[in-house]
C-alpha cells in the first residue's frame, strides 16, 4: 500500500454516466452503446461528461476456469469491443466489480483475484473501475480489501480511475487516497426522491445533503481524491420516460426545484457527476440543467474544494465554496414549503474578504450585479439559488 504514486487521474471530479440508476440489473450492450451515442448527440460529452460505466450485472454467473470474469449473454460482443465503441465515440469506458466474493446482485466478483481481474480490465481497455462492497469479505477489513485492488490497478499498464463504493461505512475519506482511490462513496445509495423514510432503502437528495453536512470529510477532498455523494438521479422517476426500464425504488420524479437543488449542491460539493438516467429520453430541462456551464465550472474548479455549510437554521441554509480565482460560489437553499428571502454577507461565506465591492453572478440566469457585502436571494420551496461572488 503506497500513497506516493503519480496522481494524474481525476484532478477534477470525474464526470460521466453509469448504468445503474436507469437500467439496474437489466443492462445490455445495446443500452451502453445508446448511452454513448446520446452523450455525443446531447452535447453532454462536449460539456465534459466522459466516462461510460457499466454497473453491476454485466458478468456471467460463472467465471472461467482460472477465475476470470466473463461477460453475460447480454454483452454478446464482449467487453473489449464495447470499450472500443465507447472510445471511438471520444469517451472513456468503465466497469464494476466488488471487494467480496460476489457483487450486490450475486455475480462473481474480485476478492482474492484482484491482479487477474485488473489485468483483464486493462486488456479490455477499461479506464474506470467502480468497486463495490458486497459478497463475503472472508474476514478481511475494508482497507485491506480495497488496498488489494488499488495495488493491482497500479501494477497494470493502464491508467484506471479507482472508484471506491463502500457507502462511507468505514470513513473512506480517511484512507481512500492511501489505497489508490480517486473517489469514494460517502453515503448510502441515492434514490430519486426528496426524502426517503428512515426504514426504507436509500437516501433522498435532502437526506444526502444532511449526511454531507454532518460528516467531517471535506478536508480529505481535492484533486485526485473525491468524496462521492452518489450518482445523479436527475431525469429519473415513473413519469420521466422510464417506462421501459423502471428504475429501482422510485415513486415520483424530483420536481424542477428539487432537481436544481440536487445539481447545484453536487456542483457546490465538487462531487463526481455521474449521470444516472436513460439519456435517450432526456428532457430539455434536464439537458440544460446538466450542461449549465456556470455550474459545471464550480464543480470542476481546479482548487477542488468541497463546499460546506456556513449557516443551517431552520428552513434557510447558506453554503459556500472557495474558487481558484479568489471568488466563491454561494448557495441559498430553502428547505421549507413557502418562498422566502435568504440573506447573508460576504464576511460570513468562504470568499476572499476586504474588498470594497463584489461582483455577483446568478448561476441560473446569468444576471450580474454589484454589492458592498450583502447577499440576498428569494428562493422557492426546495429550490436553491446559487451565485458566484468575486471581489473587485
Residue of 55, 127, 132, 350 with catalytic role: 132
| Closest to ligand GAL by CB, 202 or 237 | 202
| Closest to ligand GAL by CB, 132 or 278 | 132
| Closest to ligand GAL by CB, 170 or 255 | 170
Taking the CB of residue 72, how many other CB atoms lie within 10 A of it?
Answer: 16
165 binds ligand GAL (CB under 6 A): yes
Q: Which of 31, 114, 189, 286 binds ligand GAL (CB under 6 A)?
A: 189
Q: Which of 20, 58, 75, 358 binds ligand GAL (CB under 6 A)?
A: 20
Q: Is 132 a catalytic residue?
A: yes
The residue range among 70-78, 79-87, 97-105, 364-372 that interacts with ligand GAL, by the rule CB under 6 A, is 97-105
The residue range among 61-69, 101-109, 148-156, 254-262 that interacts with ligand GAL, by the rule CB under 6 A, is 101-109
Q: What is residue 342's three-state secondary structure?
A: strand
Q: For 241, left (φ over 0), alpha (ψ -120 to 50), or beta?
A: left
The residue range among 99-107, 149-157, 215-223, 296-304 that interacts with ligand GAL, by the rule CB under 6 A, is 99-107
Contact between 172 and 164 (Cβ < 8 Å): yes
296 Cβ neighbours under 8 A, 6+ residues apart: 15, 47, 48, 267, 273
The residue range among 65-73, 98-106, 333-341, 351-359 that interacts with ligand GAL, by the rule CB under 6 A, is 98-106
Question: In the bound complex, what is the minimum distance in angstroms from residue 160's beta carbon to ligand GAL?
Answer: 17
Q: For 230, left (φ over 0), alpha (ψ -120 to 50), or beta?
A: left
Question: In the bound complex, what is the minimum distance in angstroms from residue 343's beta carbon to ligand GAL?
Answer: 38
Contact between 119 and 160 (Cβ < 8 Å): no
55 binds ligand GAL (CB under 6 A): yes
Sign for the CA dihedral angle at 385, 45, 103, 168 comes to: negative
Q: Which of 15, 35, 59, 104 binds ligand GAL (CB under 6 A)?
A: 104
User: C-alpha cell of 229?
Assistant: 455523494
Q: Is 189 a catalytic residue?
A: yes
Count residues contacting ligand GAL (CB under 6 A)? 10
Residue of 55, 56, 189, 230 with catalytic role: 189
Sign for the CA dihedral angle at 135, 141, 146, 152 comes to: negative
Tell me how far apart the alpha carbons of residues 198 and 323 are, in angstroms, rounded to a whole number: 35
Strand pairing class (368-371; 328-334): unpaired
Q: Which of 29, 50, 56, 301 binds ligand GAL (CB under 6 A)?
A: 56
User: C-alpha cell of 32?
Assistant: 451502453
Given the rule CB under 6 A, which residues bind ligand GAL? Answer: 20, 55-56, 103-105, 132, 134, 165, 189
Catalogue the active-site residues. Answer: 132, 189
Amino acid at each position: 500500500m503506497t500513497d506516493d504514486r503519480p496522481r494524474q487521474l481525476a484532478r477534477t471530479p470525474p464526470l460521466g454516466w453509469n448504468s445503474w440508476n436507469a437500467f439496474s440489473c437489466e443492462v445490455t450492450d445495446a443500452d451502453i452503446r445508446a448511452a454513448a451515442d446520446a452523450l455525443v448527440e446531447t452535447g453532454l460529452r462536449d460539456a465534459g461528461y466522459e466516462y461510460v460505466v457499466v454497473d453491476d450485472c454485466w458478468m456471467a454467473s460463472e467465471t472461467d476456469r482460472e477465475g476470470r470474469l466473463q461477460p453475460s449473454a447480454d454483452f454478446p460482443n464482449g467487453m473489449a469491443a464495447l470499450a472500443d465503441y465507447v472510445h471511438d465515440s471520444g469517451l472513456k469506458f468503465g466497469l464494476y466489480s466488488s471487494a467480496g466474493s460476489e457483487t450486490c446482485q450475486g455475480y462473481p466478483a474480485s476478492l482474492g483475484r484482484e491482479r487477474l481481474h485488473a489485468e483483464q480490465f486493462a486488456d479490455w481497455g477499461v479506464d474506470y473501475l467502480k468497486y463495490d462492497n458486497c459478497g463475503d469479505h472472508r474476514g478481511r477489513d475494508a482497507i485491506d480489501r480495497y488496498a488489494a485492488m488499488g495495488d493491482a490497478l497500479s501494477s497494470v499498464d493502464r491508467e484506471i480511475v479507482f472508484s471506491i463504493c463502500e457507502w462511507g461505512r468505514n470513513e473512506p475519506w480517511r484512507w481512500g487516497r492511501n489505497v489508490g482511490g480517486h473517489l469514494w462513496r460517502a453515503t448510502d445509495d441515492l434514490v430519486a426522491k426528496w426524502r426517503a423514510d428512515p426504514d426504507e432503502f436509500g437516501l433522498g437528495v435532502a437526506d444526502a445533503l444532511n449526511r454531507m453536512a454532518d460528516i467531517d470529510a471535506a478536508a480529505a477532498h481535492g484533486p485526485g481524491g473525491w468524496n462521492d455523494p452518489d450518482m445523479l438521479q436527475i431525469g429519473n422517476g415513473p413519469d420521466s420516460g422510464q417506462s421501459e426500464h423502471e428504475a429501482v425504488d422510485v415513486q415520483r420524479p424530483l420536481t424542477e426545484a428539487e432537481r436544481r437543488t440536487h445539481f447545484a449542491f453536487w456542483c457546490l460539493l465538487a462531487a463526481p457527476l455521474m449521470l444516472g438516467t436513460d439519456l435517450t429520453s432526456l428532457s430539455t430541462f434536464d439537458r440544460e440543467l446538466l450542461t449549465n456551464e456556470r455550474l459545471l465550472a464550480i464543480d470542476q474548479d481546479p482548487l477542488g474544494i468541497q463546499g460546506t455549510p456556513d449557516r443551517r437554521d431552520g428552513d434557510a441554509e447558506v453554503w459556500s465554496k472557495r474558487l481558484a480565482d479568489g471568488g466563491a460560489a454561494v448557495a441559498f437553499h430553502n428547505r421549507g414549503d413557502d418562498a422566502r428571502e435568504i440573506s447573508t454577507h460576504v464576511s460570513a461565506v468562504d470568499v476572499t474578504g476586504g474588498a470594497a465591492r463584489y461582483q455577483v453572478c446568478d448561476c441560473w440566469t446569468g444576471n450580474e450585479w454589484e454589492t458592498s457585502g450583502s447577499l440576498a436571494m428569494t428562493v422557492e420551496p426546495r429550490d436553491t439559488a446559487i451565485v458566484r461572488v468575486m471581489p473587485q
